[in-house]
Each structure stands twice: as C-alpha cells, then as structure tokens.
Amino acid sequence: DIQMTQSPSSLSASVGDRVTITCRSSQTISNYLNWYQQKLGKAPGLLIYAASSLQSGVPSRFSGGGSGTNFSLTISSLQPEDFATYYCHQSYSTPWTFGRGTRLEI
Amino acid sequence: QLQLQESGPGLVMPSETLSLTCVVSGGSMSSGGYSWNWIRQSPGKGLEWIGYIYHSASIHYNPSLKSRVTISIDRSKNQFSLKLNSVSAADTAVYYCARERDTSGYSFDHWGQGILVTVSS
C-alpha cells in the first residue's frame, strides 16, 4: 500500500494568515493526489484534485501543487470557515489511501 | 444536485454482519465515468477506503478487508450496498458512501453524510 504522510498534524493560525500543508507519498504517484476538507461532524469535501486543479465551487484562496512524491495545499488568506481538518488522498493505485490529516485551528 | 444517503443499523453485535445501503438521488448511477465507493473513518485508523463498484463485473476491495466484504449494486433502485461480516470492535467507525469520478485522475466528489456503526454486545 502507498503510505501518505501529512505534516504538520496540527497547525495554529489566524484569520488572514497564509498556511501550507504538505503531504508525502511513500512512492511516486505522478499527480494522482487529492485534498479534502472536513469540518466537525461532517463528511469530507473535495477541494483539489489531480494535485493542482480546483474543484468547482471552491474559493480561489485554496491552491495545490507538487508531483511525484511531494505535494502541498496552500490557503492564501485564512477565513474563519477554513478552520477544519485537511486530508490528502492518493488515487494512483489501489487500495486508495489517505493521510492522517492536518487539523487547522485558531 | 447529486445526493447520497447511507442507512442501516447503528449497532451490530460482534461476529455478526454489518449491512448498509446508500441511496443515490439527483442523478443516475448508470451514468458512465463514475464508481461507487464505501469509506470508513475511525479515530484509530483515520480514513480507510473499503472498496468500490463500477458495475457488477467491476468490483474492487481493499485487500485488508477483502475476505469479509461484499459490495453490490441495484441500478433499478439507484442504490448500492455494503456487507461486512464477522465484525469486531475494530470495525466501529463512521461509514461513508461516496461517488468517485474518473476524469483527471480519480477523486471523491460527492459524499453521503455518514453513519456511525458501533460494534458491541
């Protein structure tokens, strides 16, 4: 199985900050990397697919980058509604696997 | 607006079979380019992909659960189902159904709200 390692596991930030979360895969996955946002008690929602493509309806302050084994999710200017947990997910080979999440808190 | 909704018992006895159904509304499951997935989430294991069904002849399971899992589809009712047998406390989790699209890679673009299943006597 491909292991996905996210860092940091938690992050404290303020409204207006620029934050970056990283995700590393245990083997190369090209750009088959997706990012999800999960708020407490809700299902995850797709933010970024194919490493850098913004899902329809997602604000442009979210961006993704990387390829191969190293990926990043950046929020350019944090808004109050962005405080949540973020997960990366590889769709290069089954079994699909997820990172353990990054909790973004005030 | 596509919606997915899980249903099933919230409590299952150890060694019994967990059975869940996901009803899809606002769109047809017969549309090409999508697979229908089950994913679970627990504090101990995080998000864990269980398996998907594309059509009856294309089903793929996580090897870690393969011996205990069955996913089936009923396109006439626009729903798909999960059965997990011989459950233990380790199977306690929130179970999600999700649609996966196969354009520009594979990603889960629609999720159900999730259902908490507790395995306990």
At A89, list the tokens: 């997910």
> Could B46 and A98 be called an inter-chain contact, meaning their C-beta atoms sit closer than 8 Å?
yes
Q: Strands (DSSP E) along B75-113, which ranges?
A: 79-84, 93-101, 107-111
Reported as a single tens digit per residue, the pLDDT across A23-73 is 999 999 999 999 999 999 999 999 999 999 999 999 999 999 999 999 999
Residue B43 has pLDDT above 90, yes or no: no
Reported as a single tens digit per residue, the pLDDT across B46-74 is 999 999 998 667 899 999 999 999 999 99
Q: Residue B35 is inside which H or E element, if any?
A: strand B34-42
The fraction of chain B above a pLDDT of 70, given in percent, is 98
- What does the pLDDT read at residue B56? 63
Test mutation, B106, B110, B113, B116, chain A, max A CBs within 10 A: B106
Reported as a single tens digit per residue, the pLDDT across A77-97 is 999 999 999 999 999 999 999
Residue B60 with chain A: CB contacts under 8 Å: 94
Calculate how close chain B gets to A49, using CA atoms only, in Å. Answer: 6
pLDDT band at B33 (very low <50, low <70, confident <90, very high): confident
- What does the pLDDT read at residue B105? 83
Residue B3 has pLDDT above 80, yes or no: yes
pLDDT band at A106 (very low <50, low <70, confident <90, very high): confident
| Identity of the residue numbered B58 | S
| Identity of the residue numbered B35 | S
Reported as a single tens digit per residue, the pLDDT across A18-34 is 999 999 999 999 999 99
- What does the pLDDT read at residue A40? 94
| Identity of the residue numbered A47 | L
Average pLDDT, chain B: 94
What values do phi and psi take at A79, rounded to 5? -110, 160
Calculate how close chain A gets to B14, using CA atoms only, in Å. Answer: 25
- What does the pLDDT read at residue B121? 95
Q: Strands (DSSP E) along chain A, which ranges?
A: 4-7, 10-12, 19-25, 33-38, 45-49, 53-54, 62-67, 70-75, 85-90, 97-98, 102-105
Residue B92 has pLDDT above 90, yes or no: yes
pLDDT band at B32 (very low <50, low <70, confident <90, very high): confident
Cis before A95? omega within 30: yes
